[in-house]
Amino acid sequence: ASPFTFRKLAGCTLFITGASRGIGKAIALKAAKDGANIVIAAKTAEPHPTLPGTIYTAAAEIEAAGGKALPCIVNVREEQQIINAVEKAVKTFGGIDILVNNASAISLTGTLETETKKVNLMMDVNVRGTYLTSKTCLPHLRKSRNPHILNLSPPMNMNPMWFKNHCAYTISKYGMSMCVLGMAEEFRGEVAVNALWPKTAIHTAAMDMLGGSGIEKQCRKTDILADAAYCILTKPKSFTGNFIIDEVLLREEGVKDFDVYAIAPGHPLIPDFFLDAFKEEKKLSQHEGADGAKASTESASAKPRSPVAETFRVIQGAMSEEYVRTTQGVFQFELSGEEGGTWYIDLKTKGGSAGFGKPPVTADVVMSMSSADFVKMFTGE
C-alpha cells in the first residue's frame, strides 16, 4: 500500500493559535507529516529575548516536515487580527477544517496578588480569545467534511483546591472548557468540539519559567499531546463533547510505553493541574462490605478533616503502582505546630501507603518542617 493511504490529515487545513512554540507547534508538526496545511496564528514575529521561535521559524519547520505553512501575526486579544488571519487562510487554502485553541496565558497567583492587567490578560486570551477564534472559524468549519475544534483545556473539576491558589487562572481555563461544553451541543452533528489536557506537566518554555532549572526531568515532552491531538482530530465529527486526558486516550489506542514521552525516563512526574484522585475516591466510597452493606467510607469522609490529614488523604488517593515503581523512596515528615508529629509517605513497598506515624520501613529521606509549610508544599504553594 502507498504510504499516502495513511496520511489522514493530508490536504486538511489546521488553524492553530499559539503555534510558534511548545504544544501548538508540536501539534502542527505532527499534522505537517501528513502533508497538512498549517495556519500559524501567533504573536511572535520578531525573536523574543527569552522564548524560542517565531511564526517564521515555525513555518520553516512545518514546511521541512512535509506540510504547507501560513504564518499570521495574531494576538487573540485583537478580534480584527483573528478575522484577517481566517480570511487569509480561506483565501490561501480554500477553507478551514480544524481549529486548535492552544494560545493561553498563566499567572499562578492568589486573588490579592494578581494584578488587574494579569486578570485581563488571562480572561482575554484564554476565554475571550478561544470564544472569538471559534466564532470566526465556525462558518468555514461547517463547510468541511470532518471539522474539529480542539481546546487545550481541563475537565471541570470543582474541587475548591484548584480555585484557592490561583482563582483567576482557574476561571479562565474552565472558561475554555465551558466553550467545549456549549459549542459541542450547539454544533452537534456539524462540528466536533473537544478538550485535551495532559495528565502530567509538559516541558515547555512556560514550564521553565514557572518551575525553574531541573523542572524538565519531572515533565513529559510535547509529543504526547501531539499524538493525542492527532488521535482526536482523525476521529469522525460524531466524536464530540469529550474532556480527554492524553495518557488515558493513548492507552485506549494501544500505547503501552510511556517512557518514550518522558524527558528523563524513570524519573517521577509532576501531575498536572485540575486532576486529582476524586474520581477514584468516589468509586471507593461506594464499595460494598462482605455482607452486602455499603461500607461507611462516605460518612467518614463527610467529617471535616484538618489540612495535614486532608493532604495525606489526597496523597493516599493518588497512590499507584507506577508511582511506587518510578519513585522507590520512603519519606518521613517530622512536623511541628498544629497536627505536629511523625507522618510518612511510602513509595517503595507494594502499592505504597501514607499516613500518621513512622513508615513501615526505614525512611530514605526525613524532612523537618512546620505543618503549615508541609500543606503549602503539597498544594503547590
* Residues annotated as catalytic (active site), given as ranges: 169
Distance from C-alpha of 314 to C-alpha of 353, rounded to nearest angstrom: 12
Distance from C-alpha of 138 to C-alpha of 130, rounded to nearest angstrom: 12
Contact call for residues 307 and 370 (beta carbons, < 8 A): no
Distance from C-alpha of 298 to C-alpha of 280, rounded to nearest angstrom: 13
How many CB atoms sit inside 10 A of residue 266's CB?
A: 11
Q: Which long-range CB contacts under 8 A does 52-58 form with residues at least 24 apart?
A: 52/21, 52/205, 53/20, 53/21, 53/25, 54/20, 55/19, 55/20, 57/20, 58/19, 58/20, 58/21, 58/25, 58/28
Using the CB atoms, write b or e for 94-121: b if 16+ within 10 Å.
eebbbbbbbbbbbbebeeeebeeebbeb
Cell readout for 347 is 513509595
Nearest to 243 by CA among 178, 176, 155: 155
Phi/psi at 130 (nearest 5 deg)? -65, -45
